[in-house]
Every structure is written in C-alpha cells, then in structure tokens.
Amino acid sequence: MGAERGLSPRRLVTLGLLIGSFMGSMEATVVATAMPTIVGQLGGLNIYGWAFSIYVLASSAGIPVTGKLSDMFGRRIVYAWSMGLFLVASLLCAVAPTMHWLIIFRALQGLGAAGLLPLAIIMIGDMFTFEERARVQGLFSGVWGVSSIAGPLFGGFLVDKVGWPSVFYINVPFGLLSAWLVWHWWVDQHELATGKPHIDYPGAIAVTASAIVLLLALVDVVSVQGAGLLALAVGLAYVAYRIENASPDPIIPIGLFHWKLFTVSILHSLVIGWLLNGVTAYVPLFVQEVQKGSATEAGAALTPLLLSWVISSAICAKMMLKTGYRPPAIGGMIAVIVGSGMLVLLEAGSPRALLLGSMLVMGAGFGFTVPALLIAVQTTVDRQNMGAATSMIQFSRSMGGSIGVGAMGAFLNWQVGRTPFALALQRTFWVAAIVTVLGLVITMSAPVISAEEMGRKR
C-alpha cells in the first residue's frame, strides 16, 4: 500500500472487503456445530445435509454472473446488492420455522455470498498495482484458512451461550459495516455500461443451471442418478457455450479462452481446488480414523497448511517483482508435489511430524502458485473483463474442489470394500498426488511474461 498512512480510503475499502470475505467464507462452516441443535428444534434430520450443500451450490453457481455484472454496472452496486441479499437471507435463516424453509433461505444466502469473496479479489485487482497486489492477496488467502478453523468454534460458542439463531444474526452488524465502508469509499475505475445495457439472461440461466446440475451430479457421481445428472450437466454446458458464443455481451466471454494464460489459469484452478478440498476433507479423516486422534487434533493438523500459505504468499509478492509469475507458480506446484508425496507415505504408526511437515510444504506451495497465476491474469487482462476473468478463476477453483472431493470419495469407497481402511485412504492420497503432477504440467505450459512487462501492463 506504498506510503499510505492512517485510514486512507483504499485501506478502508480493503478492511470492508476483508470483513465481507470472512463472513462469506465462514458461513459455509459456522453452522456445522449449530446443526444438531437446529435439527432438535426444527426437525428434518433426513434433509439437514442440504443446509450445507445448498449454500455451496448457490455460492459457486453465482460466481460467474456476479463477476460479469460488476464489469457492466460497477463493483460497488453489485457488492451492495450481494451483501444486502446475504444479510436479508441471514435474518430469514434465523427465524426459519422448518428445515425446508431454512434450506431455501440458505440458498439465498449462498447467492449473496457469490458476490462477496470473488468481488473482493476483483476489487483488489482494481485498487492495487502489480507491486502491491500479491502482498494484499496474501491477506485474502488467509481469510479462507482462518474462517475454516474459526467457523465451527465460533458457531459452537454462540449456540451454547446465546442460541442457534445468533449464528445468523451475528452477520448483520459486520455486514452493514462492510457494505458501508465499500459503498462510501469505493470509486469504480473502469468504464461502465451506458444507456440500456444488454444483460445476457439466457446465458446467465444456462451457465448457472449447468453449474448447479454438475455440482449435484458430483454428490454421487458413480450412481445411475449421478451419471444421468452428469450427462445433463454436459448438455447444459454445451447449450451455455452456444448461447455465450452468440451473445454480444456474454456472461462468460468465450474469447478469453483463446488467451493461453487465461486457459492455463482455469485448468490450474481446477487442480488447486481438487487438491485443496481433497486434502482438507481427508487429512482430518486420516487423523481420526487411522491414527485415532481427537477432533481437535484433526483440525490442528491443517493449521501448518494455512499458516505457511499466508507466509509464502507474502514472499511470492516480492519474488514476482524480480522473476515474473512463472518461477513462483512452477516452484509452488513442485512444493505441492513434495507435500502430496509425503502424504502417501503416511501409515497408522507414522510420526505426526510427517503429516504436519506435509501440510507445511503443501501450504507453502499453494501460497506461491495460487496468487502468482491469479495476479498474472489480473495484470494482463483488459480492465473491462477483469471481473469476468477473475470470477471464472474463482469459479473453477470451487468446481475443482467439488470434483476432487467427489472423485476421491468415490475412489475411497471403492477401495474400502477391497482393502483395510488405512490402506484405502493411503491409496486415495495417491490420487491427489497424481493430480498434483498434472497441475505441474499445466503450470509449465503457461506463457513467459517478464516482471518488467507485467509492471508496464498495470
């Protein structure tokens, strides 16, 4: 942030975006410890899992639409509408009379969240120079880590001391503060749509529908129902492609995929999402079920990944100023390969240091490779497409995470019927390791752009 002192407008906006991002990401996990109490009062045990899933579905599917709308109408107005929907839905969740209504309101809450974290990353790209951006992105990378740990703990505290509706009410004061800071201090820095803008309603519907159906298919992709949904998702994706290709102002500019750096970044984000969600889903399972650790120990096993991610993101910022984006992106993927290789060595009697070391190395790798490609795209893309490009990268990471958890879960279930659980889980980690190598191959195909050229672009 250069030589800024005190609470400058840019710092106030950044504070508002950090608050909004933290809320949006924490809401995915904060209800975990509240759900047993909610089920006890509202009933609906057979469908309570949808209170989690529908939030992820809605927040993932809405990302491309909010990114494009912010390019057309401005970041501030879209952020305000997103936060408004998120807060209204939070209030409705707090007074939901039945589990069915809670699930409906959680879907609305997820649609609001679709504009919080992605727009924060887009607005960081607008506000900060190439020299500053990687350092600031490190703060937002840490938001996911802190919220994933703090969410269940904070939710449990509120349920015990205040009651389960407070899990949703607590969003209101912080959300209003975030919205006020962004609304009052933000100034859009790109040319907005004039006159009556063209809104690609058919494209928005087709893109959203294909994403939702794909996510539903990944819940149980090996079943007949899952396979049918997967086929439907492919068909809807083709329809979306035809609509977007013909649209004068599409939600997803197809021309971006003709740009090699963007295509590489999309594929890279799919791999990163796969690895990140796969590791965070199955490492705690290994600690509890194989090494017989407690729930607290399972959560603590991920802490080195989160800490090293934040630290290495800051180092990446300085490195990119001298080397450009490819060395940290490629070096980060190599570190992730080393970390995933350490994972596959884990056995029931393995020292905890091996697991913690694996998380430490993987986190450092993520901290280098994730911001490097994102910042490269933000630095070189036309400003009019900044929102669409950034949101597509975020969307790809989210989709990759769902694909990874589904695929690794299906593989684990297949192995459990044939081998002991510990060996089945170890072989599941091999799946992650193979995907990591694929990620390195993808990253190495990225085009060369020097630090000097990136500096001139922004």
Write out the two tokens for 278: 């796969």
Cβ atoms of residues 455 and 375 within 8 Å? no
335: pLDDT strictly greater than 50: yes
| pLDDT band of 64, cuts 50, 70, 90 | confident
Quick: pLDDT tens for 6-45.
568 888 998 999 888 888 877 776 776 677 788 888 887 7
The mean per-residue pLDDT over the stretch 162-174 comes to: 88
Other beta carbons less than 10 A from residue 72's beta carbon: 19
Q: What is the mean pLDDT of the chain?
A: 83
Q: Find, among 156, 161, 151, 157, the residue nearest to 34 by Cα.
A: 156
Please report the pLDDT score of residue 141 as a whole number.
66
How far apart CA 387 and CA 399 sit, in angstroms, is: 18
Q: What 8-state DSSP symbol labels residue 287?
A: I
Please report the pLDDT score of residue 299 as a whole number.
67
Cβ atoms of residues 392 and 122 within 8 Å? no
Please report the pLDDT score of residue 1 as a whole number.
46
Please report the pLDDT score of residue 88 as a whole number.
96
3: pLDDT strictly greater than 50: no
What lies within 8 Å, CB to CB, of 18 at 6+ separation is 120, 139, 140, 143
Backbone torsion region of residue 145, taken as left when φ is above 0, otherwise alpha when ψ lies between -120 and 50, otherwise beta? alpha
73-82, 144-153, 374-383: segment of lowest average pLDDT: 144-153
| pLDDT band of 5, cuts 50, 70, 90 | low
Quick: pLDDT tens for 76-120.
899 999 999 999 999 999 999 998 899 899 989 989 988 888 888
How far apart CA 158 and CA 161 sit, in angstroms, is: 5
Cβ atoms of residues 310 and 366 within 8 Å? no
Please report the pLDDT score of residue 294 as a whole number.
72
More confident residue, 32 or 177: 177
Amino acid identity of residue 320, one-letter, is M
Please report the pLDDT score of residue 253 as a whole number.
81
Please report the pLDDT score of residue 296 as a whole number.
65
Buried b (16+ CB within 10 A) or exposed e, 75-93: bbbbbbbbbebbbbbbebb
| Rounded alpha-carbon distances, angstroms, from residue 183 to 65, 81, 129, 350 | 20, 11, 22, 52
Write out the two tokens for 59: 């927040």
Q: Find, among 178, 189, 78, the residue nearest to 129 by Cα.
A: 189
Please report the pLDDT score of residue 52 as a whole number.
72
How far apart CA 217 and CA 194 sit, in angstroms, is: 40
For helices 303-323 and 352-380, angle between their N-to-C axes, nearest 10 degrees: 40
Burial group, residue 300, by CB count within 10 angstroms (0-12, 13-18, 19+):
middle
Please report the pLDDT score of residue 441 as a whole number.
96
